[in-house]
A and B are shown apart, each in its own frame.
Chain A
Amino acid sequence: MAAEEEASRPFAGLSDVSISEDIPVEGDISVPVGPSRTDEEFSTLDEPVKETVLRDLRAVGNKFIHVLYPRRSSALLRDWDLWGPLLLCVTLALLLQDGTADSDLEGGPQFAEVFVIVWFGSIIITLNSKLLGGTLSFFQSLCVLGYCILPLTVAMVVCRVVLLGASGTVSFVVRLVVVTASFGWSTFASTAFLSDSQPANRRALVVYPVFLFYFVIGWMVLTFSPLKREP
Protein backbone atom coordinates (compact mmCIF):
# COMPACT_ATOMS: atom_id res chain seq x y z
CA MET A 1 0.00 0.00 0.00
CA ALA A 2 2.76 2.41 0.91
CA ALA A 3 4.54 1.62 -2.34
CA GLU A 4 1.42 2.39 -4.32
CA GLU A 5 1.02 5.63 -2.50
CA GLU A 6 4.62 6.45 -3.24
CA ALA A 7 4.05 5.76 -6.90
CA SER A 8 0.85 7.71 -7.12
CA ARG A 9 2.04 10.77 -5.21
CA PRO A 10 4.04 12.32 -8.07
CA PHE A 11 0.93 12.07 -10.25
CA ALA A 12 -1.45 13.19 -7.51
CA GLY A 13 -1.98 16.61 -9.07
CA LEU A 14 -3.22 15.16 -12.35
CA SER A 15 -6.30 13.70 -10.74
CA ASP A 16 -7.76 17.21 -10.57
CA VAL A 17 -7.67 17.57 -14.33
CA SER A 18 -10.90 16.37 -15.87
CA ILE A 19 -11.60 16.42 -19.57
CA SER A 20 -15.32 16.66 -20.16
CA GLU A 21 -16.84 14.56 -22.90
CA ASP A 22 -18.10 17.37 -25.06
CA ILE A 23 -14.62 18.57 -25.90
CA PRO A 24 -13.18 16.47 -28.70
CA VAL A 25 -9.53 15.76 -28.31
CA GLU A 26 -8.34 16.83 -31.69
CA GLY A 27 -5.26 18.41 -33.20
CA ASP A 28 -4.25 20.42 -30.13
CA ILE A 29 -0.59 20.40 -29.25
CA SER A 30 -1.13 22.03 -25.86
CA VAL A 31 -2.95 19.01 -24.38
CA PRO A 32 -0.37 16.30 -23.62
CA VAL A 33 -1.97 12.88 -23.84
CA GLY A 34 0.43 10.06 -24.59
CA PRO A 35 2.76 8.38 -27.07
CA SER A 36 -0.02 7.87 -29.63
CA ARG A 37 -0.04 11.65 -29.98
CA THR A 38 3.25 11.82 -31.80
CA ASP A 39 2.13 9.21 -34.31
CA GLU A 40 -0.89 11.31 -35.16
CA GLU A 41 1.18 14.46 -35.53
CA PHE A 42 3.53 12.77 -37.97
CA SER A 43 0.65 11.49 -40.04
CA THR A 44 -1.11 14.85 -40.44
CA LEU A 45 1.26 15.51 -43.32
CA ASP A 46 -0.15 12.59 -45.22
CA GLU A 47 -3.79 13.13 -44.56
CA PRO A 48 -5.97 14.62 -47.28
CA VAL A 49 -6.41 18.41 -47.26
CA LYS A 50 -10.11 17.97 -46.72
CA GLU A 51 -9.34 16.31 -43.40
CA THR A 52 -7.13 19.19 -42.25
CA VAL A 53 -9.65 21.83 -43.22
CA LEU A 54 -12.54 19.92 -41.70
CA ARG A 55 -10.71 19.60 -38.40
CA ASP A 56 -10.45 23.34 -38.05
CA LEU A 57 -14.02 23.83 -39.25
CA ARG A 58 -15.22 21.34 -36.69
CA ALA A 59 -13.40 23.23 -33.96
CA VAL A 60 -14.96 26.48 -35.11
CA GLY A 61 -18.39 24.90 -35.29
CA ASN A 62 -17.98 23.48 -31.83
CA LYS A 63 -17.25 26.93 -30.48
CA PHE A 64 -20.30 28.32 -32.27
CA ILE A 65 -22.40 25.83 -30.35
CA HIS A 66 -20.77 26.97 -27.11
CA VAL A 67 -21.70 30.55 -27.91
CA LEU A 68 -25.28 29.71 -28.80
CA TYR A 69 -25.75 27.79 -25.56
CA PRO A 70 -23.48 29.63 -23.15
CA ARG A 71 -22.69 27.40 -20.25
CA ARG A 72 -19.83 27.54 -17.90
CA SER A 73 -17.48 25.62 -20.14
CA SER A 74 -13.98 26.66 -20.86
CA ALA A 75 -13.72 25.34 -24.41
CA LEU A 76 -13.73 28.85 -25.86
CA LEU A 77 -11.04 29.94 -23.52
CA ARG A 78 -8.77 26.95 -23.56
CA ASP A 79 -8.39 26.37 -27.29
CA TRP A 80 -8.83 29.83 -28.63
CA ASP A 81 -8.62 30.49 -32.32
CA LEU A 82 -9.31 33.53 -34.45
CA TRP A 83 -10.76 31.76 -37.51
CA GLY A 84 -14.28 32.00 -36.19
CA PRO A 85 -14.14 35.75 -35.48
CA LEU A 86 -12.62 36.36 -38.90
CA LEU A 87 -15.35 34.35 -40.60
CA LEU A 88 -18.08 36.16 -38.68
CA CYS A 89 -16.57 39.59 -39.24
CA VAL A 90 -16.22 39.07 -42.99
CA THR A 91 -19.78 37.71 -43.24
CA LEU A 92 -21.18 40.64 -41.27
CA ALA A 93 -19.23 43.19 -43.29
CA LEU A 94 -20.33 41.65 -46.59
CA LEU A 95 -23.96 41.60 -45.48
CA LEU A 96 -23.76 45.23 -44.39
CA GLN A 97 -22.47 46.36 -47.75
CA ASP A 98 -24.80 48.33 -49.89
CA GLY A 99 -23.01 47.26 -52.96
CA THR A 100 -24.92 49.08 -55.69
CA ALA A 101 -23.68 51.65 -58.18
CA ASP A 102 -25.35 54.55 -56.37
CA SER A 103 -23.32 54.02 -53.29
CA ASP A 104 -21.18 57.12 -53.64
CA LEU A 105 -23.78 58.72 -51.41
CA GLU A 106 -22.84 58.88 -47.78
CA GLY A 107 -24.35 55.59 -46.86
CA GLY A 108 -24.04 52.76 -44.50
CA PRO A 109 -20.76 51.50 -43.20
CA GLN A 110 -18.45 50.12 -45.81
CA PHE A 111 -16.58 46.85 -45.54
CA ALA A 112 -13.45 48.43 -44.11
CA GLU A 113 -15.39 50.43 -41.57
CA VAL A 114 -17.13 47.35 -40.18
CA PHE A 115 -13.84 45.50 -40.07
CA VAL A 116 -12.11 48.34 -38.24
CA ILE A 117 -14.93 48.74 -35.76
CA VAL A 118 -15.07 45.04 -34.94
CA TRP A 119 -11.35 44.39 -34.63
CA PHE A 120 -10.27 47.73 -33.23
CA GLY A 121 -13.16 47.67 -30.80
CA SER A 122 -12.26 44.15 -29.63
CA ILE A 123 -8.63 45.14 -29.15
CA ILE A 124 -9.57 48.19 -27.12
CA ILE A 125 -11.96 46.22 -24.92
CA THR A 126 -9.29 43.57 -24.37
CA LEU A 127 -6.74 46.22 -23.42
CA ASN A 128 -9.28 47.75 -21.08
CA SER A 129 -9.98 44.50 -19.30
CA LYS A 130 -6.28 43.72 -19.03
CA LEU A 131 -5.53 47.15 -17.60
CA LEU A 132 -8.26 46.65 -15.04
CA GLY A 133 -6.48 43.53 -13.91
CA GLY A 134 -8.12 40.74 -15.87
CA THR A 135 -6.62 37.28 -15.94
CA LEU A 136 -7.51 36.31 -19.49
CA SER A 137 -4.81 36.50 -22.07
CA PHE A 138 -5.01 38.94 -24.96
CA PHE A 139 -5.99 36.42 -27.62
CA GLN A 140 -8.42 34.53 -25.43
CA SER A 141 -10.30 37.74 -24.90
CA LEU A 142 -10.27 38.58 -28.62
CA CYS A 143 -11.51 35.07 -29.35
CA VAL A 144 -14.46 35.38 -26.95
CA LEU A 145 -15.49 38.81 -28.20
CA GLY A 146 -15.25 37.69 -31.81
CA TYR A 147 -17.24 34.50 -31.36
CA CYS A 148 -20.00 36.30 -29.48
CA ILE A 149 -20.78 38.33 -32.61
CA LEU A 150 -22.49 35.17 -33.92
CA PRO A 151 -26.01 36.07 -32.66
CA LEU A 152 -25.75 39.49 -34.30
CA THR A 153 -24.65 37.93 -37.59
CA VAL A 154 -27.64 35.60 -37.45
CA ALA A 155 -29.83 38.65 -36.78
CA MET A 156 -28.33 40.37 -39.83
CA VAL A 157 -29.24 37.41 -42.03
CA VAL A 158 -32.78 37.45 -40.63
CA CYS A 159 -33.04 41.21 -41.20
CA ARG A 160 -31.96 40.89 -44.79
CA VAL A 161 -34.51 38.15 -45.37
CA VAL A 162 -37.23 40.27 -43.74
CA LEU A 163 -36.29 43.27 -45.88
CA LEU A 164 -36.58 41.18 -49.01
CA GLY A 165 -40.15 40.38 -48.10
CA ALA A 166 -41.76 43.43 -46.57
CA SER A 167 -40.77 46.97 -45.70
CA GLY A 168 -42.42 49.48 -43.44
CA THR A 169 -43.44 49.54 -39.83
CA VAL A 170 -44.12 45.83 -39.45
CA SER A 171 -40.73 44.85 -40.77
CA PHE A 172 -39.11 47.50 -38.59
CA VAL A 173 -40.76 46.14 -35.48
CA VAL A 174 -39.76 42.59 -36.36
CA ARG A 175 -36.19 43.67 -37.03
CA LEU A 176 -36.09 45.66 -33.81
CA VAL A 177 -37.21 42.65 -31.78
CA VAL A 178 -34.73 40.32 -33.49
CA VAL A 179 -31.80 42.71 -33.13
CA THR A 180 -32.58 43.50 -29.50
CA ALA A 181 -32.80 39.81 -28.64
CA SER A 182 -29.55 38.97 -30.38
CA PHE A 183 -27.77 41.96 -28.83
CA GLY A 184 -28.86 40.79 -25.41
CA TRP A 185 -27.74 37.25 -26.23
CA SER A 186 -24.30 38.42 -27.39
CA THR A 187 -23.73 40.54 -24.32
CA PHE A 188 -24.92 37.80 -22.01
CA ALA A 189 -22.74 35.16 -23.71
CA SER A 190 -19.60 37.24 -23.63
CA THR A 191 -20.05 38.34 -20.03
CA ALA A 192 -20.56 34.70 -19.07
CA PHE A 193 -17.06 34.03 -20.34
CA LEU A 194 -15.34 37.27 -19.43
CA SER A 195 -16.72 38.20 -16.06
CA ASP A 196 -15.11 35.32 -14.22
CA SER A 197 -11.71 36.73 -14.88
CA GLN A 198 -12.37 40.02 -13.08
CA PRO A 199 -12.64 40.84 -9.39
CA ALA A 200 -16.19 41.58 -8.29
CA ASN A 201 -15.71 45.28 -7.65
CA ARG A 202 -14.72 45.97 -11.26
CA ARG A 203 -17.07 43.69 -13.12
CA ALA A 204 -19.38 46.49 -14.24
CA LEU A 205 -16.41 48.46 -15.49
CA VAL A 206 -15.45 45.58 -17.78
CA VAL A 207 -18.99 44.71 -18.89
CA TYR A 208 -19.95 48.24 -19.93
CA PRO A 209 -17.52 48.50 -22.92
CA VAL A 210 -18.69 45.08 -24.12
CA PHE A 211 -22.27 46.32 -23.90
CA LEU A 212 -21.35 49.45 -25.88
CA PHE A 213 -19.53 47.39 -28.52
CA TYR A 214 -22.43 45.05 -29.22
CA PHE A 215 -24.86 47.97 -29.03
CA VAL A 216 -23.02 49.76 -31.83
CA ILE A 217 -22.88 46.62 -33.96
CA GLY A 218 -26.56 45.98 -33.28
CA TRP A 219 -27.30 49.56 -34.30
CA MET A 220 -25.47 49.07 -37.59
CA VAL A 221 -27.49 45.89 -38.20
CA LEU A 222 -30.78 47.56 -37.35
CA THR A 223 -30.27 50.66 -39.48
CA PHE A 224 -29.23 48.71 -42.51
CA SER A 225 -31.52 49.52 -45.37
CA PRO A 226 -31.02 48.55 -48.98
CA LEU A 227 -30.86 51.41 -51.44
CA LYS A 228 -34.06 50.73 -53.28
CA ARG A 229 -35.94 52.14 -50.30
CA GLU A 230 -34.98 55.73 -51.18
CA PRO A 231 -38.10 57.92 -50.67
Chain B
Amino acid sequence: MASNNDPFEFREFEEEGNLLDTNRDATTITIEDEDVKRQTKAAGFDPDADDEYPARSDDREELLSGQKKSPPFWTFEYYQKFFDIETHHVKERILGSLLPWPRKNFIQFYLRKNPDLYGPFWICTTLVFAVFISGNISNFMNGKYKPEFRKVTIAATMIFSYAWFVPLALWGFLLWRNNKILNLVSYSFMEIVCVYGYSLSVYIPAVVLCIVPLEWLKWLTMVAAFGLSGSVLVMTFWPALREDHPKVAMATVSAIVLLDVLLAVVCKHAAAVGSACCSSHSRPAQGERFLFMKAARGKSGSSVALLERIGFLRW
Protein backbone atom coordinates (compact mmCIF):
# COMPACT_ATOMS: atom_id res chain seq x y z
CA MET B 1 0.00 0.00 0.00
CA ALA B 2 2.75 2.52 0.91
CA SER B 3 4.65 3.62 -2.11
CA ASN B 4 6.86 6.07 -0.19
CA ASN B 5 9.83 5.21 1.93
CA ASP B 6 9.17 7.94 4.47
CA PRO B 7 7.03 6.46 7.27
CA PHE B 8 5.86 9.93 8.43
CA GLU B 9 4.50 11.00 5.10
CA PHE B 10 0.78 11.38 5.19
CA ARG B 11 -0.92 8.78 3.14
CA GLU B 12 -4.16 9.39 1.40
CA PHE B 13 -6.93 7.01 2.24
CA GLU B 14 -7.28 4.34 -0.32
CA GLU B 15 -10.28 4.36 -2.55
CA GLU B 16 -12.70 1.65 -1.64
CA GLY B 17 -12.12 0.01 -4.91
CA ASN B 18 -8.44 -0.46 -4.14
CA LEU B 19 -9.18 -1.87 -0.73
CA LEU B 20 -11.62 -4.31 -2.18
CA ASP B 21 -9.02 -5.41 -4.62
CA THR B 22 -6.79 -6.49 -1.74
CA ASN B 23 -9.52 -8.06 0.29
CA ARG B 24 -12.70 -8.91 -1.46
CA ASP B 25 -14.52 -10.01 1.66
CA ALA B 26 -14.09 -6.74 3.50
CA THR B 27 -17.24 -4.74 4.13
CA THR B 28 -17.00 -1.11 3.27
CA ILE B 29 -19.18 1.67 4.59
CA THR B 30 -19.41 4.86 2.64
CA ILE B 31 -20.28 7.88 4.70
CA GLU B 32 -20.89 10.34 1.93
CA ASP B 33 -24.44 11.55 1.52
CA GLU B 34 -24.63 10.97 -2.18
CA ASP B 35 -23.83 7.32 -1.73
CA VAL B 36 -26.54 6.92 0.87
CA LYS B 37 -29.03 8.56 -1.41
CA ARG B 38 -27.96 6.35 -4.25
CA GLN B 39 -28.34 3.27 -2.10
CA THR B 40 -31.79 4.25 -0.83
CA LYS B 41 -32.88 5.03 -4.33
CA ALA B 42 -31.61 1.72 -5.47
CA ALA B 43 -33.62 0.04 -2.70
CA GLY B 44 -36.80 1.16 -4.38
CA PHE B 45 -37.65 4.54 -2.92
CA ASP B 46 -39.10 7.33 -4.96
CA PRO B 47 -36.39 9.08 -6.97
CA ASP B 48 -37.84 12.47 -6.02
CA ALA B 49 -36.67 12.13 -2.46
CA ASP B 50 -37.21 15.79 -1.70
CA ASP B 51 -40.86 15.76 -2.64
CA GLU B 52 -41.59 12.55 -0.81
CA TYR B 53 -39.85 13.64 2.40
CA PRO B 54 -40.05 17.43 2.46
CA ALA B 55 -39.68 17.36 6.24
CA ARG B 56 -36.36 15.63 5.96
CA SER B 57 -34.98 18.18 3.55
CA ASP B 58 -36.44 21.01 5.64
CA ASP B 59 -34.80 19.61 8.76
CA ARG B 60 -31.51 19.27 6.98
CA GLU B 61 -31.71 22.83 5.73
CA GLU B 62 -32.59 24.10 9.18
CA LEU B 63 -29.81 22.19 10.86
CA LEU B 64 -27.33 23.27 8.26
CA SER B 65 -28.27 26.90 8.55
CA GLY B 66 -28.11 26.67 12.36
CA GLN B 67 -31.43 28.37 12.97
CA LYS B 68 -34.86 27.09 13.83
CA LYS B 69 -37.99 28.65 12.45
CA SER B 70 -39.53 30.34 15.46
CA PRO B 71 -43.33 30.39 15.64
CA PRO B 72 -45.00 33.79 15.34
CA PHE B 73 -45.57 35.71 18.55
CA TRP B 74 -49.34 35.36 18.53
CA THR B 75 -49.23 31.57 18.88
CA PHE B 76 -49.10 29.61 22.09
CA GLU B 77 -45.91 27.81 21.06
CA TYR B 78 -43.96 31.04 20.96
CA TYR B 79 -44.45 31.53 24.67
CA GLN B 80 -43.92 27.89 25.47
CA LYS B 81 -40.23 28.21 24.71
CA PHE B 82 -39.90 30.64 27.61
CA PHE B 83 -41.15 28.00 30.03
CA ASP B 84 -38.62 25.41 29.04
CA ILE B 85 -37.12 25.07 32.51
CA GLU B 86 -37.12 22.65 35.35
CA THR B 87 -37.45 23.01 39.09
CA HIS B 88 -33.73 22.91 39.79
CA HIS B 89 -33.06 25.63 37.21
CA VAL B 90 -35.43 27.97 38.99
CA LYS B 91 -33.87 27.14 42.35
CA GLU B 92 -30.36 27.80 41.04
CA ARG B 93 -31.39 31.12 39.53
CA ILE B 94 -33.08 32.30 42.70
CA LEU B 95 -30.03 31.35 44.77
CA GLY B 96 -27.81 33.10 42.27
CA SER B 97 -29.73 36.31 42.69
CA LEU B 98 -29.81 36.06 46.48
CA LEU B 99 -26.05 35.58 46.70
CA PRO B 100 -24.37 37.55 43.96
CA TRP B 101 -20.81 36.69 43.17
CA PRO B 102 -18.51 39.12 41.34
CA ARG B 103 -17.31 36.61 38.78
CA LYS B 104 -20.68 35.14 37.98
CA ASN B 105 -22.55 37.43 35.68
CA PHE B 106 -26.20 36.41 36.16
CA ILE B 107 -27.08 36.36 32.51
CA GLN B 108 -24.04 34.54 31.32
CA PHE B 109 -23.72 32.12 34.17
CA TYR B 110 -27.23 31.24 35.14
CA LEU B 111 -29.39 32.02 32.17
CA ARG B 112 -27.10 30.58 29.53
CA LYS B 113 -29.22 31.62 26.62
CA ASN B 114 -32.35 30.15 28.18
CA PRO B 115 -34.31 33.04 29.72
CA ASP B 116 -37.62 32.10 31.21
CA LEU B 117 -40.80 33.97 31.98
CA TYR B 118 -41.87 31.72 34.84
CA GLY B 119 -39.45 33.20 37.38
CA PRO B 120 -40.07 36.91 36.80
CA PHE B 121 -43.84 36.53 36.70
CA TRP B 122 -44.29 34.39 39.79
CA ILE B 123 -41.68 36.23 41.81
CA CYS B 124 -43.48 39.52 41.06
CA THR B 125 -46.82 38.00 42.04
CA THR B 126 -45.39 36.55 45.23
CA LEU B 127 -43.84 39.89 46.12
CA VAL B 128 -47.15 41.67 45.59
CA PHE B 129 -48.95 39.28 47.89
CA ALA B 130 -46.12 39.33 50.43
CA VAL B 131 -46.34 43.12 50.57
CA PHE B 132 -50.12 42.92 50.95
CA ILE B 133 -49.98 40.31 53.69
CA SER B 134 -47.23 41.94 55.72
CA GLY B 135 -49.04 45.26 55.41
CA ASN B 136 -52.14 43.64 56.82
CA ILE B 137 -50.24 41.98 59.64
CA SER B 138 -48.53 45.21 60.68
CA ASN B 139 -51.96 46.87 60.53
CA PHE B 140 -53.31 44.27 62.91
CA MET B 141 -50.43 44.72 65.27
CA ASN B 142 -51.04 48.45 65.38
CA GLY B 143 -54.68 48.02 66.14
CA LYS B 144 -56.38 48.58 62.81
CA TYR B 145 -58.27 45.43 62.10
CA LYS B 146 -59.48 46.17 58.62
CA PRO B 147 -57.48 44.59 55.84
CA GLU B 148 -56.87 47.33 53.30
CA PHE B 149 -57.51 45.62 50.05
CA ARG B 150 -57.02 48.61 47.76
CA LYS B 151 -53.34 48.65 48.55
CA VAL B 152 -52.78 45.40 46.76
CA THR B 153 -53.73 46.91 43.42
CA ILE B 154 -51.39 49.84 43.92
CA ALA B 155 -48.52 47.65 45.08
CA ALA B 156 -49.16 45.32 42.15
CA THR B 157 -49.05 48.15 39.63
CA MET B 158 -45.82 49.58 40.95
CA ILE B 159 -44.00 46.27 41.25
CA PHE B 160 -45.10 44.99 37.89
CA SER B 161 -44.19 48.21 36.13
CA TYR B 162 -40.76 48.12 37.74
CA ALA B 163 -40.24 44.56 36.61
CA TRP B 164 -41.46 45.02 33.03
CA PHE B 165 -41.18 48.64 31.92
CA VAL B 166 -37.75 49.38 33.34
CA PRO B 167 -36.23 46.40 31.44
CA LEU B 168 -37.98 47.64 28.32
CA ALA B 169 -36.46 51.09 28.72
CA LEU B 170 -33.05 49.65 29.53
CA TRP B 171 -33.14 47.31 26.57
CA GLY B 172 -34.08 50.14 24.24
CA PHE B 173 -31.32 52.28 25.67
CA LEU B 174 -28.71 49.52 25.27
CA LEU B 175 -29.87 48.90 21.72
CA TRP B 176 -29.46 52.57 20.91
CA ARG B 177 -25.99 52.66 22.42
CA ASN B 178 -25.02 49.49 20.60
CA ASN B 179 -25.68 51.24 17.35
CA LYS B 180 -23.19 53.91 18.24
CA ILE B 181 -20.54 51.85 19.95
CA LEU B 182 -19.61 48.36 18.96
CA ASN B 183 -20.18 46.23 21.99
CA LEU B 184 -19.18 42.65 22.59
CA VAL B 185 -21.90 42.08 25.10
CA SER B 186 -25.54 42.48 24.14
CA TYR B 187 -28.53 41.21 26.00
CA SER B 188 -31.91 40.31 24.62
CA PHE B 189 -35.09 41.76 26.10
CA MET B 190 -36.09 38.48 27.73
CA GLU B 191 -32.73 38.16 29.46
CA ILE B 192 -33.04 41.65 30.95
CA VAL B 193 -36.59 40.90 32.13
CA CYS B 194 -35.26 37.71 33.67
CA VAL B 195 -32.49 39.49 35.58
CA TYR B 196 -34.87 42.09 36.93
CA GLY B 197 -37.43 39.46 37.87
CA TYR B 198 -35.01 37.27 39.75
CA SER B 199 -33.38 40.25 41.44
CA LEU B 200 -36.75 40.99 43.04
CA SER B 201 -36.65 37.68 44.85
CA VAL B 202 -34.47 39.12 47.62
CA TYR B 203 -37.25 41.57 48.53
CA ILE B 204 -39.65 38.79 49.50
CA PRO B 205 -37.95 37.78 52.76
CA ALA B 206 -37.13 41.45 53.42
CA VAL B 207 -40.78 42.41 53.16
CA VAL B 208 -41.78 39.54 55.43
CA LEU B 209 -39.22 40.73 57.99
CA CYS B 210 -40.79 44.19 57.88
CA ILE B 211 -43.66 42.79 59.90
CA VAL B 212 -41.53 43.06 63.00
CA PRO B 213 -42.30 46.53 64.39
CA LEU B 214 -38.70 47.58 64.98
CA GLU B 215 -37.90 50.59 62.80
CA TRP B 216 -34.13 50.01 62.72
CA LEU B 217 -34.67 46.38 61.66
CA LYS B 218 -36.91 47.46 58.81
CA TRP B 219 -34.35 49.93 57.52
CA LEU B 220 -31.57 47.40 57.94
CA THR B 221 -33.36 44.67 55.97
CA MET B 222 -34.37 47.09 53.27
CA VAL B 223 -30.83 48.38 52.88
CA ALA B 224 -29.51 44.82 52.76
CA ALA B 225 -32.15 43.83 50.17
CA PHE B 226 -31.38 46.89 48.07
CA GLY B 227 -27.69 46.12 48.33
CA LEU B 228 -28.05 42.56 47.11
CA SER B 229 -30.45 43.26 44.27
CA GLY B 230 -28.56 46.37 43.22
CA SER B 231 -25.30 44.50 43.08
CA VAL B 232 -26.85 41.74 40.95
CA LEU B 233 -28.11 44.34 38.50
CA VAL B 234 -24.91 46.38 38.41
CA MET B 235 -22.69 43.33 37.98
CA THR B 236 -24.88 42.13 35.16
CA PHE B 237 -25.03 45.38 33.25
CA TRP B 238 -21.53 46.68 33.84
CA PRO B 239 -19.96 44.54 31.07
CA ALA B 240 -22.50 45.93 28.63
CA LEU B 241 -21.80 49.52 29.64
CA ARG B 242 -18.07 49.32 30.19
CA GLU B 243 -17.11 50.16 26.63
CA ASP B 244 -19.26 53.20 26.56
CA HIS B 245 -18.47 56.80 27.28
CA PRO B 246 -17.78 56.97 31.04
CA LYS B 247 -20.40 59.61 31.71
CA VAL B 248 -23.09 57.65 29.92
CA ALA B 249 -22.09 54.49 31.74
CA MET B 250 -22.16 56.22 35.09
CA ALA B 251 -25.50 57.82 34.38
CA THR B 252 -27.05 54.49 33.40
CA VAL B 253 -25.70 52.67 36.41
CA SER B 254 -26.94 55.36 38.76
CA ALA B 255 -30.36 55.27 37.09
CA ILE B 256 -30.55 51.52 37.66
CA VAL B 257 -29.52 51.96 41.27
CA LEU B 258 -31.91 54.84 41.85
CA LEU B 259 -34.92 52.91 40.56
CA ASP B 260 -33.95 50.05 42.82
CA VAL B 261 -33.85 52.41 45.81
CA LEU B 262 -37.28 53.68 44.84
CA LEU B 263 -38.64 50.16 44.77
CA ALA B 264 -37.13 49.39 48.17
CA VAL B 265 -38.74 52.48 49.68
CA VAL B 266 -42.12 51.69 48.12
CA CYS B 267 -42.00 48.12 49.38
CA LYS B 268 -41.04 49.18 52.86
CA HIS B 269 -43.84 51.70 53.12
CA ALA B 270 -46.44 49.42 51.63
CA ALA B 271 -45.41 46.60 53.93
CA ALA B 272 -45.20 48.62 57.09
CA VAL B 273 -48.34 50.64 56.99
CA GLY B 274 -48.64 50.63 60.74
CA SER B 275 -46.16 53.45 61.10
CA ALA B 276 -47.63 56.87 61.72
CA CYS B 277 -45.92 58.71 58.88
CA CYS B 278 -46.69 58.53 55.15
CA SER B 279 -48.31 55.14 55.08
CA SER B 280 -50.76 55.48 52.27
CA HIS B 281 -50.02 55.88 48.59
CA SER B 282 -53.65 55.90 47.62
CA ARG B 283 -55.68 59.01 47.25
CA PRO B 284 -57.70 59.81 50.35
CA ALA B 285 -60.92 57.90 49.99
CA GLN B 286 -64.32 59.05 51.01
CA GLY B 287 -64.09 56.88 54.05
CA GLU B 288 -61.00 58.56 55.34
CA ARG B 289 -62.58 61.97 55.14
CA PHE B 290 -65.53 60.49 56.98
CA LEU B 291 -63.13 59.19 59.64
CA PHE B 292 -61.59 62.63 59.92
CA MET B 293 -65.00 64.13 60.61
CA LYS B 294 -65.65 61.51 63.24
CA ALA B 295 -62.27 62.23 64.83
CA ALA B 296 -62.90 65.97 64.78
CA ARG B 297 -66.11 65.42 66.66
CA GLY B 298 -64.10 63.49 69.20
CA LYS B 299 -65.65 60.09 68.58
CA SER B 300 -62.40 58.24 67.97
CA GLY B 301 -60.87 59.67 71.13
CA SER B 302 -57.15 60.20 71.25
CA SER B 303 -55.23 63.03 69.64
CA VAL B 304 -52.79 60.57 68.10
CA ALA B 305 -55.64 59.15 66.08
CA LEU B 306 -56.55 62.66 64.98
CA LEU B 307 -53.01 63.38 63.87
CA GLU B 308 -52.99 60.14 61.97
CA ARG B 309 -56.11 61.10 60.13
CA ILE B 310 -54.55 64.42 59.20
CA GLY B 311 -51.48 62.56 58.04
CA PHE B 312 -53.68 60.44 55.78
CA LEU B 313 -55.31 63.44 54.28
CA ARG B 314 -52.04 65.26 53.59
CA TRP B 315 -51.14 62.53 51.18
**Residues of A close to B126: CB separation below 8 A:** 212
- Say if the beta carbon of A15 comes within 8 Å of chain B: no
**Residues of A close to B285: CB separation below 8 A:** 104-106
**Residues of B close to A225: CB separation below 8 A:** 145-146
Do A133 and B80 touch across chains, with their CB atoms under 8 A apart? yes
Do A201 and B86 touch across chains, with their CB atoms under 8 A apart? yes
- Say if the beta carbon of A37 comes within 8 Å of chain B: no
- Say if the beta carbon of B83 comes within 8 Å of chain A: yes
Do A132 and B87 touch across chains, with their CB atoms under 8 A apart? no
Do B118 and A223 touch across chains, with their CB atoms under 8 A apart? no
**Residues of A close to B150: CB separation below 8 A:** 106
| Smallest CB gap from B291: residue in A | A105
Do A202 and B86 touch across chains, with their CB atoms under 8 A apart? yes
- Say if the beta carbon of A184 comes within 8 Å of chain B: no
Q: Which of the residues A104, A109, A130, A205 comes within 8 Å of B290, measured between beta carbons?
A: A104
The 0/1 profile, CB within 8 Å of B marked 1, for residues 191-231 of chain A is 00000000001111100110010011001100101000111
CB distance from B120 to the nearest CB of A (A): 13
CB distance from A26 to the nearest CB of B (A): 34
Q: How large is the interface on A (under 10, 10 to 19, 20 to 34, 35 or more residues)?
A: 20 to 34
Do A108 and B287 touch across chains, with their CB atoms under 8 A apart? no
A209 to B85, CA, bound (A): 16
| Smallest CB gap from B82: residue in A | A131
A223 to B88, CA, bound (A): 35
- Say if the beta carbon of B149 comes within 8 Å of chain A: yes
User: Taking chain B's interface residues, is the majority helix, strand, or loop, or is none over half, making it mixed?
Assistant: helix
- Say if the beta carbon of A128 comes within 8 Å of chain B: yes
A145 to B88, CA, bound (A): 25
Number of A-B contacts (CB under 8 A): 75
- Say if the beta carbon of B221 comes within 8 Å of chain A: no
A202 to B91, CA, bound (A): 12
A222 to B85, CA, bound (A): 35
Chain B 66-102 residues near chain A, CB threshold 8 A: 76, 79-80, 82-83, 85-88, 90
CB distance from A187 to the nearest CB of B (A): 15
Do B149 and A106 touch across chains, with their CB atoms under 8 A apart? yes
- Say if the beta carbon of A107 comes within 8 Å of chain B: yes
A108 to B151, CA, bound (A): 11
Do A132 and B146 touch across chains, with their CB atoms under 8 A apart? no
Chain A 84-129 residues near chain B, CB threshold 8 A: 104-110, 113, 128
Do A109 and B83 touch across chains, with their CB atoms under 8 A apart? no
- A105-B290, A212-B126 known; A231-B143 Cβ under 8 A: yes
The 0/1 profile, CB within 8 Å of A marked 1, for residues 144-181 of chain B is 01111110000000000000000000000000000000
Binding site for A on B (CB under 8 A): 76, 79-80, 82-83, 85-88, 90, 118, 122, 125-126, 129, 133, 136, 143, 145-150, 282, 285-288, 290-291
Binding site for B on A (CB under 8 A): 104-110, 113, 128, 130-133, 201-205, 208-209, 212, 215-216, 219-220, 223, 225, 229-231
A-B contacts besides A106-B287, A219-B133, A231-B143, 15 pairs, CB < 8 Å: A104-B285, A104-B290, A106-B148, A106-B150, A108-B149, A113-B149, A128-B83, A130-B76, A131-B79, A202-B86, A202-B87, A204-B87, A212-B122, A212-B125, A231-B145
